[in-house]
Structures are given as structure tokens and as C-alpha cells.
Structure 1
Amino acid sequence: MIRKIIAVIVLLPLAIALVALALVNRHAVPISLDAFNPGDLKYAVQVPLFVLVLGLVALGVLVGGVATWLNQGKWRRAARRAEWELGSARAEIAELKQRVADAEDEGRRWPPRALSRPAA
């Protein structure tokens, strides 16, 4: 509940600021697609400034997320390995518990099957 309140306290002013940015910066700006001659507007696209700013912020978030995801690959691999080892250890524990239970059942029988002699 407190997380939702904090999210509203943070996200509401951020949303208001983004709307204000969009309303104030509606004029079109040229984006030149010719890297060698940026003054030539022949290969330019006109977009509103707020679209450019929000698009670059979104691109930055996306690139940062991908970089973080790639950087954390070793931790995901270690977690998968630990889960596999845990499953293997649990299976071994279950097998050992079954062997102990079987051994206790054998100990209650007299004479034990392994020690009984066949009749001559």
C-alpha cells in the first residue's frame, strides 16, 4: 500500500511535467538525416520537440535496460546452476531418507534377510 502511495507521489508530478513539456514544446524542429551535410535540409524530418525529447528518453531507457540485462547474464546463469544443484540435492536427500527408512524396516525384522541362512 505504501509503495502505491509513493508511486503516486512520484509519478503524478512527473506526468504533469511531461504534459507541460509536450504543451510548451509543440513547435517542429528539423532532424537532419544527412550526417555529412547537416545544413542541407533535403534529408530532414520535421518533428515536434517534445516527441524528440521523449523519444530520446525512451531510447535511453531501452538501451540502459538492454545493457543491464546483458550485464546480469552471469547472475542469471549462476541462479540457474544453483537451482539445478538444489533440485539435485533434494532428490539425493529424498533417496537417502528412503534408504534410511528401508534400513529401519530391515532392522525391525528378525532375522534380517541379509543374515538369514538357507535351510540345509
Structure 2
Amino acid sequence: MFNRFILIVVFVPLAVILIALAVANREPVAFTLDPFNPGNPALTLTVPLFIFLFLALAIGMIVGSLATWIKQGRYRMLARQRGAEAENLRQAVSRAPTASQSPVLPKPTN
């Protein structure tokens, strides 16, 4: 139910906006990598503007995701360490004798 809600409320309007953006910006524009000779055809790419917009959006999402992943690295490492510690404690508890199997300890002598 929640997935359907997210689909209808978020993704459908987002798709409508992106389609309208693509239709409104379909004129070809030149993107050149040579700032000193903008007319150089070897370093100029001419494609519709919406492609550049979508590429910028995709690159921004990738860079943002990588930055978040790097920033949260210490928390993932801490979670791995604590998971290993919890697993070691589980194994220690499963190997420990139960109350009915505990050996009788001798009384200390003074």
C-alpha cells in the first residue's frame, strides 16, 4: 500500500514534470570543451538541451550518493564490529553450560 502511495504521489508528478521539461527543451544546443576556440567541431557536441539537463541531474545524484556513502563509512564499520562482537557473544553463550549442567565448584580452603 505504501509503495503504491509513493508511486502515485511522488513518481507520477515527477514523471509529468520531466516529460514537460524534455518537450519544452528539445532544441539542439552546442556544448564545447574548448573555451578558446568554441567553433572547433572536434570538441563540440550538439544535442537537445533536455539531455544535458538529465545528465546533470544523474551526475548530481551519483555524486550526492557517493558523498553520503563515504560520510557514513564509519557507521558501517562500527555496525560490522558490533555485529561480529554480538556473534561472538552468541557463540559463547551457546557453548556455556546451562544451570542444570554447571559443574560443582570446590569450596575454597583457608
Match of 2:38 in 1: 40
CA distance in 2 between partners of 1:41 and 1:79 (Å): 54
Cα-Cα RMSD? 1.9
Which consecutive residues of structure 2, in runs of 5 or more, have no partner in the other structure? none
Shift of 1:99: 5.5
Match of 1:59 in 2: 59
Which consecutive residues of structure 1, in runs of 5 or more, have no partner in the other structure? 108-113, 115-120
Q: What are the superposed Cα offsets for residues 80-104 of structure 1, whole Å, 9 maximum, x if unpaired?
A: 00000000111111122x264432x
CA distance in 2 between partners of 1:68 and 1:19 (Å): 28
Q: TM-score, normalised by structure 1?
A: 0.77
Query: Which amino acid letter does the alignment assign opposite residue 63 of structure 1?
Result: V
Q: TM-score, normalised by structure 2?
A: 0.83
Match of 1:92 in 2: 92
Q: Percent identity?
A: 32
Match of 2:26 in 1: 26
Query: Which amino acid letter does the alignment assign opposite residue 46 of structure 1?
Result: T
| Structure 1 runs (4+) greater than 4 angstroms displaced | none
CA distance in 2 between partners of 1:99 and 1:6 (Å): 50
- Count residues with an aligned counterpart: 103
CA distance in 2 between partners of 1:2 and 1:84 (Å): 34
CA distance in 2 between partners of 1:3 and 1:81 (Å): 33
Bigger relative contact order (CA 8 A; separation at least 6): 2
CA distance in 2 between partners of 1:30 and 1:23 (Å): 18
Structure label with greater radius of gyration: 1
